[in-house]
Amino acid sequence: MATIIDGKKVSIELLKELQKKTDKLQKKPSIAVILANNDDASRIYVNSKEKQANILGYKSMVYKFEKTVKQEELIELINKLNNDSNVNAILLQLPLFNHLNENELIELINPIKDVDGFHPLNTGKLYSNLNPFAVCCTPKGIIKLLDYYKIDITGKNTLVIGRSNIVGKPMAALLTNRDATVTLAHSKSENLKEITKTKDIIISATGCPKLIKKDMVKQNSVIIDVGIVKQNNGKLMGDVDFENVKDKVSYITPVPGGVGPMTIACLMENTYELFLKQN
């Protein structure tokens, strides 16, 4: 029976540390969130971020836009936020309405205020192991979970499934920087089962419910589940067939309560760290 990785607990500890550090600050970190979509999940997520920022005493602003918003309005807003020394962190909540050019806007964010670490200058620095201003929150949170549970990464055979710019690719880069052997697989990968079976650590970020089954994983491996899909019955489901897989592996994250809470805690930490870099 695996140890269930308690992301809730670890995130609370991280936030407590952050609270202590923030309390010592005269001026408080501030984060501006841009919400330009109709996505329910995004709205819930932005609310959680705002709530957490308020608890920490950060200044938090949310800019919500209707579907009629023009690219130019967002360009103008980002330029304004870039130039506002009272704003330390800019978060462009993805996805955007379809008509908007996401990459143009990401590139417009001043890299030192790019709290998600999505700007190519920051991803490039992450990739070359050269101190990006910020590291994407979900992969950063996963490394913290592995470290908290003292799971050895160096030299291990690790697998990241899913190659999004938000999770999969930066996750692979972080693992490489931590001396893991890293395989990056995705929807086009042939023979996924053959690939998963030999890995010491699997991080799955596909959004395909129950993709990872018991016969696909190695005995005593470590399973991190980034997937989160709401079923018709309202239940949240991860990429991993948790009930069956948990008997075979050494560590596993639940959904919910695994990776999710770490993402928001890392966003708060990134905001704090950007504040320090600017002050």
Binding site for a second copy (CB under 8 A): 103, 119-125, 127-130, 154-157, 163, 165, 169, 172-173, 176, 179, 181-186, 188-191, 194-195, 198
CB closer to a second copy, 113 vs 169: 169
**Partner residues linked to 90 by β-bridges:** 32, 114
Query: Taking the complex as a whole, how short is the minimal distance between the CB of residue 107 and a second copy, in angstroms?
Result: 9
DSSP helix, strand, coil percent of the chain (3-state; round to 5)? 45, 15, 40
Alpha helices in 40-167 (DSSP H): 40-56, 71-83, 102-108, 120-127, 137-148
CB closer to a second copy, 156 vs 246: 156
CB closer to a second copy, 183 vs 253: 183
Query: Taking the complex as a whole, how short is the minimal distance between the CB of residue 160 and a second copy, in angstroms?
Result: 10
- Beta strand segments in 14-149, E: 30-35, 59-64, 89-93
Q: Are 225 and 249 in contact (CB under 8 A)?
A: no
Q: Are 56 and 268 in contact (CB under 8 A)?
A: yes
| Active site (catalytic) residues | 49, 93, 116
**Reading across the β-sheet that carries 30-35, which strands appear in turn?**
59-64, 30-35, 89-93
Place of tokens 């030299």: 155
Q: Are 4 and 252 in contact (CB under 8 A)?
A: yes
CB closer to a second copy, 2 vs 136: 136
Query: Taking the complex as a whole, how short is the minimal distance between the CB of residue 131 and a second copy, in angstroms?
Result: 9
Assigned token pair, 35: 């919400």
Query: Taking the complex as a whole, how short is the minimal distance between the CB of residue 206 and a second copy, in angstroms?
Result: 14
Assigned token pair, 28: 């408080």
**Partner residues linked to 75 by β-bridges:** none
Query: Taking the complex as a whole, how short is the minimal distance between the CB of residue 197 and a second copy, in angstroms?
Result: 10
Q: Are 123 and 248 in contact (CB under 8 A)?
A: no
CB closer to a second copy, 118 vs 251: 118
Assigned token pair, 135: 């590291």
CB closer to a second copy, 75 vs 192: 192
- Beta strand segments in 88-180, E: 89-93, 157-161
